[in-house]
């Protein structure tokens, strides 16, 4: 992946996060995905 593409995805994710809309953040994840933070339970 090119550096500019990574920066674009990071900027888009940041905008989604800052929007306060769960749907916006969720759009970056697979429909059947899960998230694990600090090795905790998903």
Per-residue pLDDT tens over the stretch 3-39: 999 999 999 999 999 999 999 999 999 999 887 889 8
pLDDT at 28: 93
pLDDT at 1: 61
Radius of gyration of the chain (CA): 12
Number of other residues whose CB lies within 10 A of the CB of residue 7: 10
The C-alpha atoms of residue 27 and residue 41 are separated, in whole angstroms, by: 21
pLDDT at 33: 86
| Residue 28 vs residues 2, 5, 31: alpha-carbon distances, Å | 18, 14, 9
Number of other residues whose CB lies within 10 A of the CB of residue 16: 17
pLDDT at 27: 95
């Amino acid at each position: 992946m090119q550096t500019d593409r990574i920066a674009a995805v990071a900027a888009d994710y940041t905008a989604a996060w800052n929007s306060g809309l769960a749907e916006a953040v969720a759009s970056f994840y697979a429909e059947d995905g899960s998230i694990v933070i600090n090795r905790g339970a998903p």
